[in-house]
Amino acid sequence: MIRLTEIKLPLDHNEDAIGQAIVDKLKIKPEQLHSYNVFKRGYDARKKTAILLIYTLDIEVDNEEALLNTFSKDQHVKPAPDTSYKFVAQAPANITERPVVIGFGPCGLFAGLVLAQMGFNPIILERGKEVRERTKDTFGFWRKRTLNTESNVQFGEGGAGTFSDGKLYSQVKDPKHYGRKVITEFVEAGAPDEILYVSKPHIGTFKLVTMIEKMRARIIELGGEIRFSTRVDDIHLDDGQVTGLTLSNGEKLDTRHVVLAVGHSARDTFKMIHDKGIYVEAKPFSVGFRIEHKQSMIDECRFGDNAGNPILGSADYKLVHHCDNGRTVYSFCMCPGGTVVAATSEEGRVVTNGMSQYSRSERNANSAIVVGINPEKDFPGHPLAGIDLQRKLEEQAYALGGSNYDAPAQLIGDFLKGKPSGNIGGVEPSYTPGIKLTDLGKVLPQFAIDAIREAIPAFNKQIRGFSTNDGLLTGVETRTSSPISIKRDKSFQSINTKGLYPAGEGAGYAGGILSAGIDGIKAAEAVALSMLENA
Protein backbone atom coordinates (compact mmCIF):
# COMPACT_ATOMS: atom_id res chain seq x y z
CA MET A 1 0.00 0.00 0.00
CA ILE A 2 1.25 3.50 -0.83
CA ARG A 3 0.52 6.61 1.21
CA LEU A 4 0.05 9.90 -0.62
CA THR A 5 0.09 13.07 1.46
CA GLU A 6 -0.82 16.69 0.71
CA ILE A 7 -3.31 15.95 -2.05
CA LYS A 8 -5.16 19.26 -2.28
CA LEU A 9 -8.61 19.65 -3.78
CA PRO A 10 -11.17 22.46 -3.74
CA LEU A 11 -13.77 22.35 -0.98
CA ASP A 12 -16.57 21.64 -3.45
CA HIS A 13 -14.78 18.92 -5.45
CA ASN A 14 -16.86 16.10 -6.90
CA GLU A 15 -16.59 12.39 -5.99
CA ASP A 16 -14.32 11.47 -8.90
CA ALA A 17 -11.79 14.18 -8.15
CA ILE A 18 -9.82 12.14 -5.59
CA GLY A 19 -9.25 9.22 -7.99
CA GLN A 20 -8.30 11.69 -10.73
CA ALA A 21 -5.87 13.50 -8.40
CA ILE A 22 -4.15 10.18 -7.60
CA VAL A 23 -3.87 9.26 -11.27
CA ASP A 24 -2.50 12.72 -12.10
CA LYS A 25 -0.04 12.73 -9.22
CA LEU A 26 1.43 9.31 -10.02
CA LYS A 27 1.06 9.70 -13.80
CA ILE A 28 -0.66 6.31 -14.07
CA LYS A 29 -3.64 5.07 -16.08
CA PRO A 30 -6.99 5.06 -14.23
CA GLU A 31 -7.20 1.23 -14.49
CA GLN A 32 -3.89 0.90 -12.59
CA LEU A 33 -5.54 2.39 -9.47
CA HIS A 34 -7.32 -0.46 -7.62
CA SER A 35 -8.60 1.35 -4.56
CA TYR A 36 -8.00 4.23 -2.19
CA ASN A 37 -8.87 4.97 1.40
CA VAL A 38 -8.93 8.43 2.99
CA PHE A 39 -6.53 8.18 5.94
CA LYS A 40 -6.83 11.88 6.91
CA ARG A 41 -8.75 14.88 5.69
CA GLY A 42 -7.92 18.37 6.82
CA TYR A 43 -8.50 21.78 5.34
CA ASP A 44 -6.59 24.93 4.61
CA ALA A 45 -8.83 27.95 5.15
CA ARG A 46 -6.16 30.62 5.03
CA LYS A 47 -7.70 31.90 1.80
CA LYS A 48 -11.39 32.12 2.59
CA THR A 49 -12.45 32.38 -1.05
CA ALA A 50 -10.50 29.27 -2.04
CA ILE A 51 -10.64 26.83 0.87
CA LEU A 52 -8.81 23.59 0.12
CA LEU A 53 -9.33 20.08 1.44
CA ILE A 54 -6.03 18.32 2.10
CA TYR A 55 -6.00 14.55 1.91
CA THR A 56 -3.71 11.79 3.08
CA LEU A 57 -4.65 8.75 0.99
CA ASP A 58 -3.71 5.08 1.25
CA ILE A 59 -3.87 3.56 -2.21
CA GLU A 60 -3.51 0.20 -3.91
CA VAL A 61 -2.08 0.34 -7.43
CA ASP A 62 -0.29 -1.89 -9.93
CA ASN A 63 3.48 -2.13 -9.51
CA GLU A 64 3.72 -0.43 -6.14
CA GLU A 65 7.43 -1.02 -5.76
CA ALA A 66 8.25 0.42 -9.15
CA LEU A 67 6.13 3.48 -8.40
CA LEU A 68 7.78 3.98 -5.02
CA ASN A 69 11.15 3.85 -6.77
CA THR A 70 10.08 6.38 -9.36
CA PHE A 71 8.91 8.75 -6.59
CA SER A 72 11.68 7.94 -4.10
CA LYS A 73 12.62 11.62 -3.78
CA ASP A 74 9.03 12.79 -3.29
CA GLN A 75 8.26 12.97 0.44
CA HIS A 76 4.54 12.83 -0.34
CA VAL A 77 4.71 9.33 -1.89
CA LYS A 78 5.81 6.72 0.65
CA PRO A 79 4.92 3.18 1.72
CA ALA A 80 1.88 3.30 4.03
CA PRO A 81 3.01 2.56 7.60
CA ASP A 82 1.47 -0.30 9.54
CA THR A 83 -0.59 1.51 12.19
CA SER A 84 -2.21 -1.60 13.66
CA TYR A 85 -1.69 -2.17 17.39
CA LYS A 86 0.48 -5.11 18.52
CA PHE A 87 0.16 -6.38 22.10
CA VAL A 88 3.50 -6.53 23.90
CA ALA A 89 2.52 -9.41 26.16
CA GLN A 90 -0.02 -12.11 26.90
CA ALA A 91 -0.71 -13.20 30.47
CA PRO A 92 -0.11 -16.88 31.20
CA ALA A 93 -3.35 -18.74 31.98
CA ASN A 94 -2.23 -19.47 35.56
CA ILE A 95 -1.46 -15.85 36.54
CA THR A 96 -2.92 -15.04 39.95
CA GLU A 97 -1.84 -11.46 40.69
CA ARG A 98 -4.20 -8.81 39.39
CA PRO A 99 -2.96 -5.31 38.53
CA VAL A 100 -5.01 -2.39 39.82
CA VAL A 101 -5.88 0.77 37.94
CA ILE A 102 -6.96 3.78 40.01
CA GLY A 103 -9.28 6.05 38.03
CA PHE A 104 -11.56 5.31 35.09
CA GLY A 105 -10.94 8.39 32.93
CA PRO A 106 -9.45 7.97 29.45
CA CYS A 107 -6.07 6.96 30.91
CA GLY A 108 -7.49 4.35 33.30
CA LEU A 109 -9.98 3.21 30.65
CA PHE A 110 -7.24 2.41 28.14
CA ALA A 111 -4.86 1.02 30.77
CA GLY A 112 -7.69 -1.26 31.94
CA LEU A 113 -8.82 -2.22 28.46
CA VAL A 114 -5.35 -3.12 27.19
CA LEU A 115 -4.50 -5.03 30.38
CA ALA A 116 -7.77 -6.94 29.98
CA GLN A 117 -7.07 -7.58 26.30
CA MET A 118 -3.69 -9.04 27.28
CA GLY A 119 -5.38 -11.34 29.82
CA PHE A 120 -4.25 -9.65 33.06
CA ASN A 121 -7.77 -9.32 34.59
CA PRO A 122 -7.30 -5.79 36.01
CA ILE A 123 -9.26 -4.38 38.90
CA ILE A 124 -10.28 -0.78 38.20
CA LEU A 125 -11.22 1.48 41.10
CA GLU A 126 -13.21 4.65 40.42
CA ARG A 127 -14.30 7.05 43.15
CA GLY A 128 -17.25 8.37 41.13
CA LYS A 129 -20.42 6.67 39.91
CA GLU A 130 -21.15 4.82 36.68
CA VAL A 131 -21.74 7.22 33.82
CA ARG A 132 -25.59 7.36 33.74
CA GLU A 133 -25.81 8.04 37.48
CA ARG A 134 -22.98 10.52 37.18
CA THR A 135 -24.80 12.33 34.39
CA LYS A 136 -27.82 12.79 36.70
CA ASP A 137 -25.58 14.19 39.45
CA THR A 138 -23.77 16.53 37.08
CA PHE A 139 -26.97 17.86 35.52
CA GLY A 140 -28.39 18.15 39.05
CA PHE A 141 -25.56 20.52 39.91
CA TRP A 142 -25.98 22.53 36.73
CA ARG A 143 -29.74 22.85 37.24
CA LYS A 144 -30.24 22.84 41.00
CA ARG A 145 -26.82 23.79 42.41
CA THR A 146 -26.56 20.54 44.40
CA LEU A 147 -22.94 19.48 44.14
CA ASN A 148 -21.95 15.85 44.74
CA THR A 149 -18.24 16.07 45.47
CA GLU A 150 -17.65 12.47 44.36
CA SER A 151 -19.80 12.52 41.22
CA ASN A 152 -19.46 15.55 38.96
CA VAL A 153 -17.70 16.92 35.86
CA GLN A 154 -14.31 15.79 37.17
CA PHE A 155 -15.12 12.51 38.95
CA GLY A 156 -16.93 9.42 37.75
CA GLU A 157 -16.89 6.84 34.96
CA GLY A 158 -15.26 8.29 31.84
CA GLY A 159 -13.22 10.85 33.77
CA ALA A 160 -12.95 14.57 33.17
CA GLY A 161 -13.55 14.48 29.43
CA THR A 162 -16.97 12.81 29.55
CA PHE A 163 -18.88 16.09 29.56
CA SER A 164 -16.74 17.72 26.93
CA ASP A 165 -16.42 18.53 23.26
CA GLY A 166 -14.65 15.18 22.91
CA LYS A 167 -11.87 16.64 20.82
CA LEU A 168 -9.57 13.79 19.92
CA TYR A 169 -6.37 15.33 18.73
CA SER A 170 -3.11 15.92 20.39
CA GLN A 171 0.36 17.17 19.63
CA VAL A 172 2.17 14.33 21.38
CA LYS A 173 4.74 12.43 19.34
CA ASP A 174 3.26 9.04 18.57
CA PRO A 175 5.72 7.00 16.47
CA LYS A 176 4.08 3.73 17.53
CA HIS A 177 0.59 4.86 16.46
CA TYR A 178 -0.99 4.35 19.89
CA GLY A 179 -3.41 7.16 19.01
CA ARG A 180 -4.77 4.97 16.22
CA LYS A 181 -5.51 2.26 18.78
CA VAL A 182 -7.43 4.77 20.93
CA ILE A 183 -9.46 6.05 17.97
CA THR A 184 -10.11 2.54 16.63
CA GLU A 185 -11.39 1.36 20.02
CA PHE A 186 -13.68 4.42 20.21
CA VAL A 187 -15.09 3.62 16.76
CA GLU A 188 -15.69 0.01 17.81
CA ALA A 189 -17.54 1.38 20.82
CA GLY A 190 -19.84 3.44 18.60
CA ALA A 191 -18.00 6.67 17.75
CA PRO A 192 -18.65 7.96 14.22
CA ASP A 193 -16.27 6.44 11.61
CA GLU A 194 -15.19 9.89 10.51
CA ILE A 195 -13.01 10.24 13.62
CA LEU A 196 -10.67 7.82 11.86
CA TYR A 197 -9.90 10.28 9.09
CA VAL A 198 -10.84 13.91 9.83
CA SER A 199 -7.82 15.89 10.97
CA LYS A 200 -9.51 17.34 14.07
CA PRO A 201 -11.96 14.65 15.19
CA HIS A 202 -14.46 15.23 17.97
CA ILE A 203 -17.22 13.12 19.46
CA GLY A 204 -19.32 15.39 21.66
CA THR A 205 -20.60 14.53 25.09
CA PHE A 206 -23.68 12.31 24.52
CA LYS A 207 -21.91 9.88 22.22
CA LEU A 208 -19.06 9.59 24.73
CA VAL A 209 -21.45 8.46 27.44
CA THR A 210 -22.72 5.51 25.38
CA MET A 211 -19.23 4.58 24.18
CA ILE A 212 -17.86 4.46 27.71
CA GLU A 213 -20.62 2.04 28.73
CA LYS A 214 -19.71 -0.26 25.85
CA MET A 215 -16.02 -0.15 26.70
CA ARG A 216 -16.80 -0.94 30.33
CA ALA A 217 -18.81 -3.99 29.20
CA ARG A 218 -15.89 -5.11 27.01
CA ILE A 219 -13.40 -4.88 29.89
CA ILE A 220 -15.70 -6.94 32.12
CA GLU A 221 -16.26 -9.52 29.36
CA LEU A 222 -12.47 -9.89 29.07
CA GLY A 223 -12.09 -10.64 32.80
CA GLY A 224 -11.62 -7.14 34.24
CA GLU A 225 -13.54 -5.82 37.23
CA ILE A 226 -14.67 -2.24 37.76
CA ARG A 227 -15.72 -0.92 41.15
CA PHE A 228 -17.51 2.42 41.24
CA SER A 229 -17.94 4.70 44.29
CA THR A 230 -14.63 3.24 45.46
CA ARG A 231 -12.01 5.82 46.27
CA VAL A 232 -8.43 4.85 47.05
CA ASP A 233 -7.56 6.51 50.35
CA ASP A 234 -4.17 4.99 51.10
CA ILE A 235 -1.29 3.24 49.36
CA HIS A 236 0.66 0.67 51.40
CA LEU A 237 4.40 0.66 50.94
CA ASP A 238 7.08 -1.74 52.08
CA ASP A 239 10.66 -0.65 51.53
CA GLY A 240 9.71 1.54 48.56
CA GLN A 241 7.47 -1.10 46.95
CA VAL A 242 3.68 -0.85 46.65
CA THR A 243 2.04 -3.75 48.49
CA GLY A 244 -1.61 -2.75 48.61
CA LEU A 245 -4.32 -0.13 48.91
CA THR A 246 -6.95 0.98 51.41
CA LEU A 247 -10.30 1.76 49.82
CA SER A 248 -12.94 4.23 50.98
CA ASN A 249 -15.12 1.37 52.30
CA GLY A 250 -12.24 0.33 54.57
CA GLU A 251 -11.31 -2.72 52.51
CA LYS A 252 -7.63 -3.55 52.02
CA LEU A 253 -6.55 -4.77 48.59
CA ASP A 254 -3.19 -6.51 48.07
CA THR A 255 -1.38 -5.65 44.85
CA ARG A 256 2.15 -4.92 43.69
CA HIS A 257 1.20 -3.21 40.40
CA VAL A 258 -0.88 -0.01 40.45
CA VAL A 259 -1.57 2.39 37.61
CA LEU A 260 -2.32 5.76 39.20
CA ALA A 261 -4.59 7.54 36.70
CA VAL A 262 -6.50 9.93 38.96
CA GLY A 263 -6.67 13.05 36.77
CA HIS A 264 -5.81 16.63 37.68
CA SER A 265 -8.52 17.24 40.26
CA ALA A 266 -7.78 14.47 42.79
CA ARG A 267 -6.38 16.95 45.29
CA ASP A 268 -6.98 14.72 48.32
CA THR A 269 -5.22 11.84 46.58
CA PHE A 270 -2.28 14.09 45.65
CA LYS A 271 -1.95 15.05 49.33
CA MET A 272 -2.06 11.42 50.41
CA ILE A 273 0.64 10.52 47.87
CA HIS A 274 2.84 13.38 48.97
CA ASP A 275 2.30 12.53 52.67
CA LYS A 276 3.42 8.95 51.94
CA GLY A 277 6.72 10.26 50.60
CA ILE A 278 6.01 9.40 46.97
CA TYR A 279 7.99 11.87 44.89
CA VAL A 280 5.88 14.77 43.64
CA GLU A 281 6.94 18.03 42.01
CA ALA A 282 5.03 21.28 41.40
CA LYS A 283 4.54 21.95 37.69
CA PRO A 284 3.39 24.88 35.55
CA PHE A 285 -0.26 25.21 34.59
CA SER A 286 -2.48 28.05 33.40
CA VAL A 287 -5.28 30.21 34.76
CA GLY A 288 -7.78 32.49 33.10
CA PHE A 289 -11.38 32.80 31.92
CA ARG A 290 -13.81 31.22 29.43
CA ILE A 291 -14.59 33.55 26.56
CA GLU A 292 -17.86 33.35 24.61
CA HIS A 293 -18.72 34.77 21.21
CA LYS A 294 -21.44 34.06 18.70
CA GLN A 295 -20.38 30.98 16.72
CA SER A 296 -21.65 32.67 13.54
CA MET A 297 -19.08 35.45 14.01
CA ILE A 298 -16.23 32.92 14.32
CA ASP A 299 -17.52 30.95 11.30
CA GLU A 300 -17.74 34.03 9.10
CA CYS A 301 -14.33 35.22 10.14
CA ARG A 302 -12.66 31.87 9.48
CA PHE A 303 -14.64 30.64 6.45
CA GLY A 304 -16.19 33.77 4.84
CA ASP A 305 -18.93 32.79 2.36
CA ASN A 306 -18.21 29.12 3.08
CA ALA A 307 -19.47 29.47 6.66
CA GLY A 308 -22.01 26.74 7.31
CA ASN A 309 -20.48 24.26 4.84
CA PRO A 310 -21.11 20.84 6.47
CA ILE A 311 -17.62 19.55 5.59
CA LEU A 312 -16.05 22.41 7.52
CA GLY A 313 -18.54 22.31 10.40
CA SER A 314 -18.40 24.96 13.11
CA ALA A 315 -15.11 26.84 13.01
CA ASP A 316 -12.51 26.63 15.75
CA TYR A 317 -9.48 28.77 16.48
CA LYS A 318 -6.15 28.55 18.25
CA LEU A 319 -4.53 31.77 19.44
CA VAL A 320 -1.32 32.69 21.24
CA HIS A 321 0.04 36.05 22.35
CA HIS A 322 3.35 36.80 24.07
CA CYS A 323 2.80 39.78 26.38
CA ASP A 324 5.01 42.71 27.34
CA ASN A 325 5.12 41.46 30.94
CA GLY A 326 6.75 38.22 29.79
CA ARG A 327 3.60 36.13 30.13
CA THR A 328 2.00 34.06 27.40
CA VAL A 329 -1.76 34.04 26.87
CA TYR A 330 -3.37 31.37 24.71
CA SER A 331 -6.71 29.89 23.83
CA PHE A 332 -7.31 26.40 25.14
CA CYS A 333 -9.95 23.70 24.83
CA MET A 334 -11.96 25.61 22.24
CA CYS A 335 -15.52 24.30 21.97
CA PRO A 336 -17.27 25.37 18.75
CA GLY A 337 -21.05 25.55 19.10
CA GLY A 338 -20.90 24.58 22.74
CA THR A 339 -21.62 25.68 26.27
CA VAL A 340 -19.59 26.85 29.23
CA VAL A 341 -19.94 24.38 32.09
CA ALA A 342 -19.65 24.50 35.86
CA ALA A 343 -16.73 22.19 36.57
CA THR A 344 -15.97 22.34 40.27
CA SER A 345 -15.51 19.16 42.30
CA GLU A 346 -15.23 21.00 45.62
CA GLU A 347 -17.77 22.92 47.64
CA GLY A 348 -17.57 26.70 47.84
CA ARG A 349 -15.55 27.00 44.64
CA VAL A 350 -16.33 27.99 41.05
CA VAL A 351 -14.47 26.55 38.05
CA THR A 352 -15.35 26.93 34.36
CA ASN A 353 -14.75 24.60 31.41
CA GLY A 354 -16.47 23.91 28.08
CA MET A 355 -18.34 21.18 26.25
CA SER A 356 -20.26 20.56 23.01
CA GLN A 357 -22.51 18.00 21.45
CA TYR A 358 -21.35 16.16 18.33
CA SER A 359 -23.40 18.58 16.17
CA ARG A 360 -21.66 21.62 17.67
CA SER A 361 -24.84 23.51 16.93
CA GLU A 362 -25.28 25.70 20.01
CA ARG A 363 -25.26 29.44 19.33
CA ASN A 364 -21.98 30.28 21.10
CA ALA A 365 -18.33 29.45 20.60
CA ASN A 366 -16.30 29.22 23.80
CA SER A 367 -12.71 28.66 24.76
CA ALA A 368 -10.45 29.19 27.71
CA ILE A 369 -8.22 32.26 27.50
CA VAL A 370 -5.46 31.45 29.91
CA VAL A 371 -2.11 32.70 31.14
CA GLY A 372 0.75 30.32 31.82
CA ILE A 373 2.00 30.34 35.43
CA ASN A 374 4.90 28.46 36.96
CA PRO A 375 6.02 27.27 40.40
CA GLU A 376 9.27 29.27 40.54
CA LYS A 377 7.56 32.66 40.10
CA ASP A 378 3.95 32.18 41.06
CA PHE A 379 3.58 29.44 43.68
CA PRO A 380 6.99 28.66 45.13
CA GLY A 381 7.90 26.69 48.20
CA HIS A 382 5.87 23.48 48.28
CA PRO A 383 5.10 20.73 45.76
CA LEU A 384 1.36 21.16 46.40
CA ALA A 385 1.37 24.98 46.41
CA GLY A 386 -0.30 25.06 42.97
CA ILE A 387 -3.38 23.40 44.51
CA ASP A 388 -3.54 26.11 47.19
CA LEU A 389 -3.42 28.76 44.49
CA GLN A 390 -6.13 27.03 42.43
CA ARG A 391 -8.36 26.81 45.51
CA LYS A 392 -7.82 30.46 46.38
CA LEU A 393 -8.79 31.60 42.87
CA GLU A 394 -11.80 29.27 42.77
CA GLU A 395 -12.98 30.59 46.17
CA GLN A 396 -12.62 34.19 44.99
CA ALA A 397 -14.73 33.33 41.94
CA TYR A 398 -17.36 31.67 44.16
CA ALA A 399 -17.58 34.75 46.38
CA LEU A 400 -17.67 37.15 43.41
CA GLY A 401 -20.42 35.08 41.79
CA GLY A 402 -22.65 35.48 44.85
CA SER A 403 -21.68 32.34 46.82
CA ASN A 404 -24.34 30.17 45.18
CA TYR A 405 -22.30 28.57 42.33
CA ASP A 406 -23.19 31.29 39.84
CA ALA A 407 -20.01 32.25 38.02
CA PRO A 408 -18.72 35.82 37.92
CA ALA A 409 -18.81 37.23 34.39
CA GLN A 410 -18.09 40.45 32.54
CA LEU A 411 -18.55 41.78 29.02
CA ILE A 412 -15.27 41.80 27.10
CA GLY A 413 -15.53 45.54 26.43
CA ASP A 414 -16.04 46.32 30.12
CA PHE A 415 -13.20 44.01 31.12
CA LEU A 416 -10.85 45.81 28.75
CA LYS A 417 -11.94 49.17 30.18
CA GLY A 418 -11.80 47.90 33.77
CA LYS A 419 -15.45 48.73 34.57
CA PRO A 420 -18.03 46.35 36.06
CA SER A 421 -20.75 45.10 33.72
CA GLY A 422 -24.41 45.78 34.39
CA ASN A 423 -26.26 44.14 31.50
CA ILE A 424 -25.54 41.33 29.10
CA GLY A 425 -25.10 42.24 25.42
CA GLY A 426 -25.65 40.25 22.23
CA VAL A 427 -23.91 37.12 23.48
CA GLU A 428 -26.19 35.21 25.80
CA PRO A 429 -24.29 33.39 28.55
CA SER A 430 -24.50 29.60 28.31
CA TYR A 431 -23.15 28.78 31.79
CA THR A 432 -25.57 27.15 34.19
CA PRO A 433 -26.72 27.44 36.95
CA GLY A 434 -26.15 31.14 36.13
CA ILE A 435 -23.77 34.07 35.95
CA LYS A 436 -23.41 37.25 37.94
CA LEU A 437 -22.19 40.28 36.03
CA THR A 438 -19.39 41.96 37.92
CA ASP A 439 -15.78 43.11 37.59
CA LEU A 440 -13.41 40.20 36.96
CA GLY A 441 -10.36 42.42 37.40
CA LYS A 442 -9.62 41.22 40.92
CA VAL A 443 -10.35 37.51 40.61
CA LEU A 444 -6.94 36.63 39.12
CA PRO A 445 -3.47 37.96 39.99
CA GLN A 446 -2.81 41.39 38.45
CA PHE A 447 -0.15 40.10 36.01
CA ALA A 448 -2.72 37.65 34.59
CA ILE A 449 -5.39 40.36 34.23
CA ASP A 450 -2.85 42.67 32.53
CA ALA A 451 -1.77 39.88 30.19
CA ILE A 452 -5.33 38.96 29.19
CA ARG A 453 -6.18 42.67 28.68
CA GLU A 454 -3.25 42.91 26.28
CA ALA A 455 -3.95 39.60 24.52
CA ILE A 456 -7.65 40.04 23.64
CA PRO A 457 -7.11 43.08 21.35
CA ALA A 458 -4.12 41.24 19.82
CA PHE A 459 -6.36 38.23 19.09
CA ASN A 460 -8.80 40.62 17.43
CA LYS A 461 -6.19 41.11 14.67
CA GLN A 462 -6.54 37.41 13.80
CA ILE A 463 -10.27 37.03 14.40
CA ARG A 464 -12.09 40.29 13.72
CA GLY A 465 -14.72 40.70 16.37
CA PHE A 466 -12.82 38.77 19.02
CA SER A 467 -12.63 41.82 21.28
CA THR A 468 -16.26 42.73 20.58
CA ASN A 469 -17.75 44.68 23.46
CA ASP A 470 -20.57 42.26 24.13
CA GLY A 471 -18.64 38.98 24.07
CA LEU A 472 -18.52 37.46 27.52
CA LEU A 473 -15.83 36.37 29.96
CA THR A 474 -16.77 33.89 32.72
CA GLY A 475 -14.40 32.71 35.41
CA VAL A 476 -12.35 31.12 36.63
CA GLU A 477 -10.56 28.58 34.52
CA THR A 478 -8.06 26.89 36.82
CA ARG A 479 -8.18 23.17 35.97
CA THR A 480 -6.25 23.48 32.72
CA SER A 481 -3.75 20.78 33.62
CA SER A 482 -2.32 19.16 36.71
CA PRO A 483 -0.55 21.43 39.19
CA ILE A 484 1.82 18.57 40.01
CA SER A 485 3.97 16.01 38.30
CA ILE A 486 4.45 12.55 39.83
CA LYS A 487 7.81 11.68 38.34
CA ARG A 488 8.36 8.27 36.80
CA ASP A 489 11.39 6.54 35.30
CA LYS A 490 11.85 4.66 32.02
CA SER A 491 10.03 1.65 33.45
CA PHE A 492 7.02 3.96 33.97
CA GLN A 493 7.28 3.50 37.74
CA SER A 494 7.50 6.35 40.25
CA ILE A 495 11.12 7.34 40.68
CA ASN A 496 11.04 6.35 44.36
CA THR A 497 8.15 3.86 44.56
CA LYS A 498 8.30 0.53 42.75
CA GLY A 499 5.04 -0.88 41.53
CA LEU A 500 3.39 2.56 41.22
CA TYR A 501 2.80 3.67 37.62
CA PRO A 502 1.78 7.37 37.64
CA ALA A 503 0.00 8.04 34.34
CA GLY A 504 -2.31 10.38 32.49
CA GLU A 505 -3.10 14.01 33.11
CA GLY A 506 -2.95 13.98 36.92
CA ALA A 507 0.62 12.75 36.95
CA GLY A 508 1.63 15.33 34.35
CA TYR A 509 1.98 12.93 31.41
CA ALA A 510 -1.02 13.86 29.29
CA GLY A 511 -3.22 16.81 28.41
CA GLY A 512 -6.45 15.75 26.78
CA ILE A 513 -8.47 12.64 26.07
CA LEU A 514 -6.28 11.23 23.30
CA SER A 515 -2.94 11.74 25.02
CA ALA A 516 -4.37 10.36 28.30
CA GLY A 517 -5.60 7.26 26.44
CA ILE A 518 -2.18 6.85 24.81
CA ASP A 519 -0.44 7.15 28.16
CA GLY A 520 -2.83 4.58 29.61
CA ILE A 521 -1.83 2.09 26.91
CA LYS A 522 1.86 2.71 27.60
CA ALA A 523 1.34 2.24 31.34
CA ALA A 524 -0.55 -1.02 30.69
CA GLU A 525 2.32 -2.30 28.57
CA ALA A 526 4.86 -1.43 31.28
CA VAL A 527 2.76 -3.18 33.95
CA ALA A 528 2.29 -6.27 31.78
CA LEU A 529 6.00 -6.60 31.01
CA SER A 530 6.93 -6.15 34.66
CA MET A 531 4.35 -8.72 35.80
CA LEU A 532 5.64 -11.25 33.29
CA GLU A 533 9.22 -10.63 34.40
CA ASN A 534 8.25 -11.23 38.03
CA ALA A 535 5.84 -14.13 37.36
User: What residue ranges bind ligand FAD (CB under 6 A)?
Assistant: 102-108, 125-128, 153, 155-156, 159-161, 163-167, 231-232, 261-263, 266, 269, 333, 341, 343, 353-355, 504-506, 510-514, 516
Q: How far apart are CA 363 and CA 252, in angstroms?
A: 50
- Kindly state the smallest distance separating residue 102's Cβ from ligand FAD, in Å: 5
H or E element, residue 245: strand 241-247
SS (H, E, C) 152-219: CCCCCCCHHHCCCCCECCCCCCCCCCHHHHHHHHHHHCCCCHHHHCECCCECCHHHHHHHHHHHHHHH
Choose between 383 and 517: whose C-beta lies nearer to ligand FAD: 517
Choose between 21 and 502: whose C-beta lies nearer to ligand FAD: 502
Choose between 383 and 511: whose C-beta lies nearer to ligand FAD: 511
Euclidean distance between the first and the last CA atom of the chain, given in angstroms as a whole number: 40
Choose between 263 and 401: whose C-beta lies nearer to ligand FAD: 263
- Kindly state the smallest distance separating residue 294's Cβ from ligand FAD, in Å: 20
- Kindly state the smallest distance separating residue 489's Cβ from ligand FAD, in Å: 19
- Kindly state the smallest distance separating residue 232's Cβ from ligand FAD, in Å: 4
- Return the exposure string of 400-409: e unless at least 16 CB atoms fall within 10 Å of the residue's CB, then b: bbeeebbbbb
Nearest one of 443, 242, 486, 275 to 349, comparing CA atoms? 443
Q: How far apart are CA 87 and CA 521, in angstroms?
A: 10
Choose between 18 and 105: whose C-beta lies nearer to ligand FAD: 105
Report whether 111 contacts 510 (CB < 8 A): no
- Kindly state the smallest distance separating residue 358's Cβ from ligand FAD, in Å: 12
- Kindly state the smallest distance separating residue 434's Cβ from ligand FAD, in Å: 18
- Kindly state the smallest distance separating residue 279's Cβ from ligand FAD, in Å: 18
Choose between 56 and 353: whose C-beta lies nearer to ligand FAD: 353
Checking phi first, is residue 484 left (phi over 0); if not, alpha (psi -120 to 50) or beta?
A: beta
CA 400 to chain CA centroid, nearest Å: 28
Choose between 362 and 505: whose C-beta lies nearer to ligand FAD: 505
Q: Beta strands 33-44 and 52-61: pairing type?
A: antiparallel
**What is residue 381's three-state secondary structure?**
coil
